[in-house]
Amino acid sequence: MDSELRLEKIHSVTEITGEIKATLEAEYQSIWVEGEISNYLHHTSGHRYFTLKDAGAQIKAVIWRFSAQGLQFEPKDGLKVRVFGDITLYEKGGYYQIRVTRILPVGKGSLEEQFQRLKERLAQEGLFSEEHKQPIPAYPNAIGIISSPTGAAIRDIINICRRRAPAVRLILRPARVQGDGAAQDIAKAIEEFNRWGEADVLIVGRGGGSLEDLWAFNEEIVARAIYQSQIPIISAVGHEIDFSIADFVADLRAATPSAAAELATYDAQAAFAFIGDSRTRLARALTRNVEKYRQLVDRLIHARVLSSPATLLERPSQRLDDSISRMKNIAELLLLKNRGALTLLEHKLGALSPDNVLKRGYAVVQRREGLAVVKLAAELSSGDRIDIKFADGSKPATIE
C-alpha cells in the first residue's frame, strides 16, 4: 500500500487549486454572462461584490475599484444585467467568480418585477390605505413578536423593550423568516396571535439581507394576514433602505427591528418622572386651594353679617321707610291739588244753582198741572192756575 502511494504524485491543496485556476482562467476569458443581482455589497474599499444568478445556478462576481470608476449606474439587488469579464478562482476561499470589467442593465430582475406587480395590485385593492391602519397603543401590557428566535433582530428587540419598559410582557412566537414555507409560517403566527387575543401590538420582522432573504415578507399571504389582523402590527423588515410589501400593509413601518421596539414601548423612566412631577404639582394645587378656601371661611366667620344677623335688615328697612315717606308726601300733594280743583268747581256750580238765582229776587212760574215751567207770558191765559216758586217757598196764583 505504501509503495503504491510512493509511485503516485500527491498534490497539495495549493497545487491542485493552482492547476484548476490556470485551466479555468485560460478557458473562460472575456465572456458575457447574464443574470440577476443579489447580495449586492458596495465595500468601503470601493470594491463591489455580488452574486449573479438565474433559475438554475449562481456565480459570485466582483467589480474591482479601478473597474468601477467607469460605471454608468449603481447596481442593486434584483436588477437583471449582462456582465463582461473573466472567470477567476479565488484560492483562499476555494471558489470561482467572474471578475467584471463591464456591466449593462437588461431590465428588472424577476423578483423585482414580482414585487412591483404585487405592490400595484394590492394598492388598487386598498390594502395600503391609511383609513384602514390602526393606532399603536401608547402603553401596551403585552407585545407579541413574530421573528426568528436566533437572529440578532430578536435580541435587539428584547434588549430595548427591557430597557424602556421592563413591566411589559414579551411573547415570542418563533417563525421562519427565510426560505420555503416562511411566508406561510409568518401568516399563521399572525392568525394565532389574533385567536389568542392577549397581545396589544405585534412586531413582525427580521434583520437585513438580500432581496431573496427578505422575500417572505413580500408574499401575498403575509400581506393579507397583516391586513386582516385585529391587533395593530409594526413591520420591521431589514434595514432602513429595505422596503417590503409587509411595510406598506402594516399599521406602522419601522426602519429596523430596534426602531420597532422603540415605537412599540413607552419610556418607563420618563413615565415615572411625569407621574412624580404630576403628583407634586397636584399636591401644590390642592394646598393652594385649601389655603384659599380656609381664608374665605375665616373672612365669613368674622363677617359682621354672621356676628349680627339683624344688620341684614337695616338697609332694606331704611329703604322701605324712605319709600313710605315719599308715597305719603306724594299722596298729600295730590290731595291738595284735587281739593283746590274741587273748590273751584263748587264755586262754579254754586253760581249756576237755581236756588242762588231765586235768592237774588227771581222766581219760577210753573203750571199747577204737570209742574211745567212757564217761560213766556204768552203761554198763560186768564184762569190758568199756577205756582210761583220763590227762594223761601211757593205761592199759588190764578191768572186774570
What's the confidence (pLDDT) of residue 310? 64
- For 168, other C-beta atoms within 10 Å of its C-beta total 19
Give residue for cell 236756588: 355
For residues 260 and 203, the answer to whether their CB atoms sit within 8 Å is: yes
The whole-number pLDDT of residue 263 equals 94
The DSSP letter of residue 372 is: P
pTM (whole model) above 0.75: no
**Greatest C-alpha distance within the chain:** 214
> Exposed, middle or buried, 194 (CB in 10 Å: 0-12/13-18/19+)?
middle
Which positions of the chain have pLDDT values less than 70? 1-7, 70, 72, 107-110, 268, 271-273, 303-312, 350-352
Which residue matches cell numbers 406602522? Answer: 252
Q: Please report the pLDDT score of residue 202 as a whole number.
A: 97
Give the per-residue pLDDT at 24: 82
CA separation, residue 159 to residues 69, 155, 156, 164, 265 (Å):
42, 6, 5, 9, 12
pLDDT for position 109: 60
* 83 membership: H or E segment, kind and range: strand 79-90
List the domains of the chain with CATH numbers.
2-108 (2.40.50.140), 113-266 (3.40.50.261), 356-398 (no CATH)
Contact indicator for 51, 59 with CB cutoff of 8 Å: yes
313-350 as b/e, with b when 16 or more CB fall inside 10 Å? eeeeeeeeeeeeeeeeeeeeeeeeeeeeeeeeeeeeee
Quote the cell numbers at residue 145: 413578536
Q: Which residues pair with 355 in a beta bridge?
A: none
